[in-house]
Amino acid sequence: MRHELSGLAARLDGRLSLPGDPGWDADRLAWNLAVDQRPAAVVVAASTSDAVETVRAAAAAGLGVAAQSTGHNAAPLAAQADFSEVVLLRMHELRDVEIDVEARVARIEPGAQWGDVVAAAAPYGLAALAGSSHDVGVMGYTLGGGVSWLARSHGLAANQVLAAEIVTADGVLRRVDDEHDADLFWAIRGGGGDFGVVTALEFRLFPITEVVAGMMLWPLDAAEDVLQTWAAWTGGLPDSVTSTARVLRLPPLPELPPFLSGRSLVIVEAVCQESPERADELLAPLRALSPEIDTVHPQPVADLLALHMDPPEPTPGYGDGMMLSELAPATVRAFLDAVGPGADTALLVAELRHLGGALDPDAALALTEEHDVPAPGVVSGFDAQYLVFATGIPMPGIGDGLVASLGRLFSRIEPWRAPVEYLNFAEHARSAEQLWGERVHRLRAVKLAVDPAGLIRSNHPVRR
Ligand SMILES: Cc1cc2nc3c(=O)[nH]c(=O)nc-3n(C[C@H](O)[C@H](O)[C@H](O)COP(=O)(O)OP(=O)(O)OC[C@H]3O[C@@H](n4cnc5c(N)ncnc54)[C@H](O)[C@@H]3O)c2cc1C
């Protein structure tokens, strides 16, 4: 391997790391610390030119190339049988964000995280369709879809992309948009990272500064009441409200605040783009259940990065996602059989996110004119009403229990499974048909046209 890639190191602005090198273990580390990434080599890119050089060198050496921003969804990539013949192209040091205030457009480098974009946009009174976590990579999130706290009013983040710069398998850097390489531009908006190494992304921002948002928290014993009420409540909400409900079992940890440490809880989080008075009216059915803590208040939209209390830094995780067509009373009971009070589960969190509104594919299409963006790409929204994501920490001794707990949850709610999957919350392999349905044929045609030899690898390949 040293021989095959030997010329590459000298051509890089960043660095090439090979098995046995002093920095190897640090360089191959993903955000998800439970994932043991063992590629042929790692390139830590310091420039766009590094992406071009890496693609060309890997092609010459007969290796694949997989781009990675943070490694939040590294598990299905590292599990691929031929991952040991892939150069992992890590982009996490390239984090610049430029804001065009007049045009309301952000241009990001490939390693930018949502915290970077929010910090750059907020001083201008602009908001992005950011993920719930400050350190999720904008790139993987957006190429896979992107469900934000503004999702039910504004749709997927991928629908706001205006242009991308991408190094394709032939080692050429292209700028793609609605009028240039339109098929490729369609494929990368929801098709993930299988089509090239994306080195820059430009997307629309919104003049939103404040929302009414927060969480309500109850002891886990209240889960049946709270989740049944939340499920019924979401059925009648305007698109201006995006919310989640989840069951949490937290270990006693000194770094957690006392109201969380060692406790089992049910939590509802809601973001309302409404006046405080209207938000109070909307939230009344949940408040009637007397939450132990209620933090809902008007706040800067930038503060939403803290709302979900996601892990502040890289963490080991074993989890997966599923979409649901509905959340009937029987669905809630099945969900709680697996993770509710008294359930034997090793899951740390089991979460339900409310979809619909602008996440409906027809609604997404209708919004493109209003948002002054191109027609959506391969994934414009979801034919599903709720998203389930559940995860735990695979510590020694509980790994098997975690796999069994996740399996139990998903088999209990299987009858309500929607016929679609969401790439970003799929942390295990899926067939391309499960992820893209009928649209997979056009996606595969694009892949064949831009990467006939299958040089570019991703966590969710379109050919599988
Ligand atoms: C704690 C946590 C919170 C999350 N919150 C949300 C949320 O609120 N909403 C939501 O929708 N999702 C959320 N997710 C899921 C998240 O969107 C996915 O994990 C997504 O893949 C993360 O992107 P990344 O770039 O950080 O990950 P990575 O693992 O680095 O990338 C995932 C894939 O994206 C592609 N990719 C990344 N960079 C490039 C590039 N430069 N060029 C080409 N392809 C590239 C590759 O195929 C790569 O395998 C969350 C995940 C976690 C763990």
Strands 349-354 and 173-177: unpaired
Q: What mean pLDDT is predicted for residues 93-118?
A: 98
pLDDT at 3: 55
Closest C-alpha to ligand 1, atom 26: 137
Closest C-alpha to ligand 1, atom 28: 71
Distance from residue 72's CA to the centre of ligand 1 (Å) = 5
CA 200/CA 139 separation, integer angstroms? 9
Strands 241-249 and 349-354: antiparallel
Domains in the chain (CATH in brackets) are 8-90 (3.30.43.10), 97-207+431-452 (3.30.465.10), 210-425 (3.40.462.20)
CB of 131 closer than 6 angstroms to any ligand 1 atom: yes
CB of 143 closer than 6 angstroms to any ligand 1 atom: yes
Cα–Cα distances in angstroms (integers) from residue 105 to residues 97, 111, 134, in the given order: 10, 18, 19
CA 227/CA 210 separation, integer angstroms? 27
pLDDT in tens, 147-198: 999 999 999 999 999 999 999 999 999 999 999 999 999 999 999 999 999 9
Mutate to test the pocket of ligand 1, among 80, 139, 269 (most ligand atoms within 8 A of CB): 139
Q: Which helix (H) or strand (E) element contains residue 413?
A: helix 399-413
Q: What mean pLDDT is predicted for residues 47-60?
A: 97
CA 319/CA 251 separation, integer angstroms? 17
CB of 435 closer than 6 angstroms to any ligand 1 atom: no
Distance from residue 70's CA to the centre of ligand 1 (Å) = 7
pLDDT in tens, 279-295: 999 999 999 999 999 99
CB of 54 closer than 6 angstroms to any ligand 1 atom: no
Instruction: Name the 3-class secondary structure at 363.
Output: helix
Cα of 78 vs its chain's centroid, Å: 17
pLDDT in tens, 350-401: 999 999 999 999 999 999 999 999 999 999 999 999 999 999 999 877 778 9
pLDDT at 397: 76
Cα distance from N-terminal residue to C-terminal residue, the chain: 27
DSSP result, 160-174? GEEEEEEE-TTS-EE
CB of 461 closer than 6 angstroms to any ligand 1 atom: no
CB of 110 closer than 6 angstroms to any ligand 1 atom: yes
Cα–Cα distances in angstroms (integers) from residue 463 to residues 95, 166, 230, 435, 452, in the given order: 30, 20, 39, 11, 11
Mutate to test the pocket of ligand 1, among 55, 73, 132, 244 (most ligand atoms within 8 A of CB): 73
Distance from residue 145's CA to the centre of ligand 1 (Å) = 9
Residue type, 63: L
Select from 211, 147, 182, 185 the least CA-distant residue to 360.
147
Residue type, 102: E
Mean pLDDT rounded to a whole number for the chain: 96
pLDDT at 151: 98
Phi then psi dihedrals of residue 148, to 5 deg: -105, 180
pLDDT at 388: 98
